[in-house]
Amino acid sequence: MPSLEETLAAHPFLAGLSPHHLQLIVPCASLVSLPADQTIFTEGDQARQLYLLRSGRVALSIHRPRRGQRTIYTLGAGDVLGMGWLDLPQQWFFDARTLEVTRAIALEADCLARLSEAQPELGYELLQRFVRVLLGKIKLLKLQLVDFYGS
C-alpha cells in the first residue's frame, strides 16, 4: 500500500512537487472515502478543506430560485474540489454531492495556509497550481456560456 506522501505525489495537482514540499504537506492531508449520494458541502458552509479527487464523481450545483438545483460541473479522478477557502469569508459558493463512491485526499485549508506563509516557495508553487485549476474552470465556464447563449 502506498504511503500518504506517495499518494499525494501521484495526484495530478501535486505531481512534480519536490519530495521536501510533499513531506511538508503530509500533516495537512488525510485520505477520505465518501459514499454515493452524500453531500460534501453546501453553499454558505464554512470552507475548511480542499479535496484532491482520486476516484469517483462529484456534482457541483447551484440553487436557482423557483427552478431548483442545477449541476454546473461534474468532477472526477484527478480533479480538485473546493477553492472556496482561498477567498474570505471562506465559504462555499456552490453545493457538492457525490454521484458514486468517491475517494479523495482531504487537505486542511488552515494547515495549507499556515504552511504557505511559513514556506513562501511552497506557497508560490501551490498558488501557481491553483491558478491553473481556476483558469481551467474559466475555460469550461466560457464553453457553458457559449452553449447557453449560442446562436
84 exposure class (CB count in 10 Å sphere: 0-12, 13-18, 19+): buried
**Does residue 115 register a pLDDT over 70?**
yes
Q: What is the pLDDT of residue 118?
A: 96
Choice among 6-15, 46-55, 66-75, 142-151 with the minimum mean pLDDT: 142-151
Kindly state the percentage of the chain with pLDDT values over 90. 70
pLDDT score for 66: 82
- Report which of residues 137 and 33 the model is more confident about: 33
Task: Please determine, for residue 127, whether its predicted confidence score (pLDDT) is greater than 90.
Answer: yes
Tell me the domain boundaries of the chain: 4-149
> What class, spelled out in words, does domain 4-149 have in CATH?
mainly beta
Q: Specify the pLDDT at position 141.
A: 76
